[in-house]
Each structure stands twice: as C-alpha cells, then as structure tokens.
Copies of this chain bind each other. A is one copy, B any other.
Amino acid sequence: MIRVSVNGYGTIGRRVADAVAAQPDMTLVGVAKMKPDYRAKIALEKGYEVYSGDEKSRLAFHDAGTESSGTARDLVSDSDIVVDCTPEDVGAENKKLYEQLGKRAIFQGGEEDATAGMSFVAQCNYEKAKGRKFVRVVSCNSTALCRVLNAVDEEFGISKARVVIARRAADPDEVGKGPIDAVVLDPITVPSHHGPDVNTVLPNFPVISMALKIPTTHMHLHSLIVSLKSGATYEKVEQKFSNTPRVMLVNGKKDGFKSTANIIDMAREMGRPRNDVYESIVWRDSIKVLDDELYFFMAVHQEAIVVPENVDAIRAMFGEDTRQESMAMTNKSLGIMR
C-alpha cells in the first residue's frame, strides 16, 4: 500500500484525494487545506484526516471549532508521497519541504517543468516517471492536447499543430473572477504558453496556441488545426481516436451534444461523482480532413481531467506496475471506459 497525502484541497486536491482513496493499492493518509470551511467539514464527514496548511491555518481551524490533525508538514512526514495541489507557484516553494523530509512529490501544471524535472501524461510517457523523486502532471489543457496529438502523431505524423483555446474564466465555485460579458485575450501575444507546455511531453513538432478567456465555468473548448505528414481520412482519424485511451468521441447531431453543457449533463446522467469528465471529449462530427490538415473540436473538463494522471503518476514513480496495468486500474476505479 502506497501511503499518499494530498497538500492543497481546492479544485484538484479534492478530486485527487477521492481518487486515491478509491485505489486498491493506495491509502489516503490525509489532506491539508488552509481554511476550516464547509469543504473541510465534508472531508471530515467522509472520514478523511484533515490537516491545516500551516501554523496560522491551524489556529483558524481551532478557532472555528474544527481541530486539524496537525499541519501539512506532519501530514507529509507520515506519507510515502505527497500530491501537491496548492495554488500556482506555491508548489515550487513547498518542494523544499518535501526534499528536506525526503519524500516523493507530484506537482501540478501551475508549476514549471523545471521544478519537477519531468512532465507527465500517462499514455505518452508513463515509463519515464519510473523511480523519480519528482514528477509534474501537466495542466488540464496540456493533458487533453497530449492525448489527442500523441495519437494523431503516432498514426499520421504531425508537422505542425495549432489550437485556439476558449478557456472557462473561473471554476464553478470561484465567484470573484470574471469576465461577465466580454472576451479577454489571455495572453494578448501569440503563442500562449499552452503550446510550449505540450512540448514538454511531446517535443517532436511545433504546437502554436492562441488563448481566450470567456464567461463560462464548465469546460475549455479547443479548436484544433493540425498539419499532417501522411494521408489521413475521416475514417482513419475516427478509428484512431476510437482506440485512444481517455479520449471519448461524442455525436453532436445524432445524440444531441450541441454544447459543453451537454457534456457536463452527460456526466451527471452517468452518475459521475461531481459530474466529472476525465476524458478528452472530441466531437465525432467535427472531425474533418481537408488536404493535409485535420480539424476538430475538443472539450476539456478543467476540474477533472488530470485526476487519473495524478493516480498513474503515483504508481509510475513507485515502479511496480506497467503503464497498462496502472491505467486499467485507475480507469476501473473512476468509471473510465478506455
């Protein structure tokens, strides 16, 4: 049993904790968070050990009448590995603690590739993580892109990939962020950081990305334009994606998937916890090959898509399971079909 702790209990941390708790070969030692809010209380009701982020946070828990089980340092000390899900750039700071305590750690996509020294997407480079002390799971957008671009590159060869990312501006429970009625260029310059980030996992072709922030909370929407080296057809692309792990094809017209809202609705109907969508969602009817270029739309559930990757990264680092074994185990526990 791998003893896993989760430091940071926001959008990602909460999900990784539940996913770890659902693995047959892992134990969730506990979670660390800063505020003694309703999320902390529900975690306690689920039976999780809840630690405070630091000493100040420990006092806040105490004052709220919710005693924490110690601080993040205590939690990490008692674990084999920590999944760091703290906000952007905090992970790099926390690395010192993990090194000091001699613990393995996984960082999220908000950290630099250099912080961990290796960027991870299970179906692209699982084996590379074997035995490592530190691994970085790439961001939601990069994870989704790596899955589909890796598949396309395997089958047809990619000479250049371009993607326009319409980003949800806030997670559903972040009520302070906007915009309300505008499109924000974020960044204004081209390319955005997303393309180069994909290259930390898939270095063999250029990925040029342009990114917008729009007033939605549920999913990112990618418009992909990919130049191919060898002849593709709709059928071949559809066939390849049908066999690509953690990619789900949906029928827009036939089955009524008109929007990102329908994807989330599907997850609710399927009984997924928190309506989570772990798969890269590709609209089958959007796939189009024109000359040597492949076009399609993809939706990315920013809250959930990196969850299976974190679980696989844990196993990869301890090195006892193959990629296939780990992914199968993770998929089964989360209800992912393939």
A20 to B297, CA, bound (A): 38
CB distance from A209 to the nearest CB of B (A): 10
CB distance from A14 to the nearest CB of B (A): 7
| A37 with B256: CB separation less than 8 A | yes
Number of interface residues of A (CB under 8 A): 79
CB 8 Å contact bits of A160-191 with B (1 = contact, 0 = none):
00101010011011111111111111001111
A296 at interface (Cβ–Cβ under 8 A)? yes
Whether A178 contacts B176 in the complex (CB less than 8 A), given A166-B212, A166-B214, A266-B38, comes out as: yes
CB 8 Å contact bits of A85-111 with B (1 = contact, 0 = none):
000000000000000000000000000
Q: Could you say which of B250, B261, B295 contacts A210, with CB atoms under 8 Å apart?
A: B295
| B269 with A39: CB separation less than 8 A | yes
A/B interface sample: 23 pairs, CB < 8 A: A37-B255, A38-B269, A39-B265, A164-B210, A166-B214, A170-B178, A172-B261, A172-B264, A173-B261, A175-B180, A180-B181, A182-B259, A183-B259, A185-B221, A185-B286, A190-B288, A190-B296, A210-B223, A210-B286, A214-B216, A223-B223, A225-B225, A274-B275
